[in-house]
Copies of this chain bind each other. A is one copy, B any other.
Amino acid sequence: MADEHTTGSPRTLKTVSRAFDVVRALEELDGARVTELSNHLDLSKSVVYNYLSTLRAEKFVVKEEDTYRLSLQFLLVGEYVRYQNILYRIGKPEIEELAEKTGEYAHLATEQHGLGINLYKVSGEKAVGSDYQVNKLQRADYLHFSATGKAILAHLPKERVEWIIDQYGLPGKTEATITTREELFEELETIRDRGYSLNDEEEIKGLQAIGAPVTNRHGRVLGSISVSGPVRRMKQPDYHEQLIESVVNTANVIEVNVNMEESDDDFPTFS
């Protein structure tokens, strides 16, 4: 957790790490001035100034008056990364259809560095809260208390799940959150058996979600999808069954299309 920059292996470049400290600080502070950052990061003013000048020259930071902010360059690179992701390219239209069909929130997620990241969200017409929840794409979050996260965990190699728990623990969010290894591995077993995951108020009270994984031909999990809504509605027996089928079905459709696309890569182009 603390910055261990001893001369171990792999060697890590302090100057680069500090540059990203500046980036994170600019995010936390919603933009900042030189002196402010200097205090925040415990670096001399001139040093901070040099970092900001460099980041600005690289176009990842902009300067308005005397305030420095992160630039939209991050968005451009980010959109590129997202578009590179095959699950996003194939899954987006399917998720939109799922949201339309069910009327609930629909999500498309993947895993990176042991945390879950939402690639895309759409709100169906029944979904409340509307714009704010869809626009504000939240930060990477724990996998063990969301429907998308658990669907992913269920299909990751056991050793990797162990590594993730070692790294991040199993922090609780509501009283329903799974917080022990044994419980979690049991739950993952169940998810594998029945083919879908359930988030039963484990992240937010009153919210239920149904998730299903998307794996490629080699069994590697690429990510997962889910729909979510108020427990009151989600728990009605017939509706519940119907949603499960819709989610599982959509996941399968995505899976098939992804695998058709990916199999092209088995015959690499000559270059």
A residues near B, CB below 8 A? 10-13, 15-17, 19-20, 23, 27, 30-31, 49-51, 53-55, 57-60, 62, 69-85, 89, 92-93, 110, 112-113, 117, 119, 131, 135-137, 139-140
Contact = CB atoms under 8 A, between A and B. Distances in A.
Say what secondary structure dominates the interface of chain A.
Answer: helix
A82 B82 CA distance: 15
A219 B101 CA distance: 46
A17 B11 CA distance: 18
B16 A51 contact: yes
A44 to B, nearest CB: 13
A84 B30 contact: yes
B81 A13 contact: no
A76 B13 contact: no
A60 B15 contact: no
Contacts of A54: 12-13, 16-17
A81 B70 contact: yes
A11 B85 CA distance: 37
